[in-house]
Amino acid sequence: MIRSLFQNIKPFVRRFLQSVYINSLKTAAREQGLNALVSKLELLVPDVTYQYSTVKIDTHYLKTKVRNLHAFQISLVNEVINEFENPVIVDIGDSAGTHLQYLTGLYSNIKCLSVNLDKEAVERIKAKGLNAIHARAEDLDRYNINVDIFLSFQVLEHMMNPCLFLHKLSEKTNTKYFIVTVPYVRKSRVGLHHIRKSTNETVKAENTHIFELSPEDWKLIVRHAGWEIVSEKIYLQYPKKSIYMTTKFLWTKFDFEGFYGLILKRDNSWSLKYSDW
């Protein structure tokens, strides 16, 4: 969304705003203790240009934004991965295999699998020498995969029925942890921005948000669907102790303040109380 804003203004204003956003992101990463991990991940995967199927990460601003988010996501994995001797990790909705490249670079003893609905994404991941399958995330329980850690980064907000998806993985897999990140919003809303703006374009699951929920509502959803919250974190794209804290309004209006992360364990205490799954 910020990318579109930049494209519709004069070049000198665009350069200035991009500089402000980059400094906001860099200051935020330093303040939240992510700088060292950002640098480490960049060494492991120098090029993230084709991270997504629908947009190229081809500017300094976009690369900084994506690198910071990746560092936040990998920091969540780092909290639990050392509990396993030879962990099996499945990345659901993986667009490029980048997170699995990070993890295989950081840890030598893991087995990985990527899952995506987009055939082009699956081929892109396989071309990197990683294992990938073409499947709907909602059907993953049918594959009878033994998993230690599921990853799902920026996926739940794209789903028609996140409750049922979460419940299937809780009831029909043996995973110990499920690590999730979603956009951080303070007030829940329906996305479907192409309809709101009447853009009259054909959209894909990858670039369409359906439910953009607050942390309070996501916590209700995951507990209802059969999960216990082990820990939660919010990564902000602006700092709290710098002049760049003034960018909070712009992030909120034109993008997202940040991202919300959850580390989950299976727990059917609440899902059993719902009789109509």
Question: Which domains does the chain carry?
Answer: 2-273 (3.40.50.150)
Exposure string of 230-241, with b = 16+ CB inside 10 Å and e = fewer, is bebbebbbbbee
> Is the pLDDT reported for residue 35 higher than 80?
yes
**DSSP assignments along 101-140, one per residue:** HHHHHH-SS-EEEEEES-HHHHHHHHTTT--EEE--GGGG
Contact 57, 70 (CB under 8 A): no
Contact 57, 48 (CB under 8 A): yes
Query: How many Cβ atoms from other residues are within 10 Å of residue 256's Cβ?
Result: 18
Query: What confidence tens digit (pLDDT) does each residue in 256-272 have?
Result: 999 999 999 999 999 99
Strands 149-153 and 88-92: parallel
Please tell me the pTM assigned to this model: 0.93
Name the average pLDDT for the chain.
Answer: 92
> Is the pLDDT reported for residue 2 higher than 50?
no
Cβ burial of 199 (10 Å; 0-12, 13-18, 19+) is exposed
> Is the pLDDT reported for residue 1 higher than 70?
no
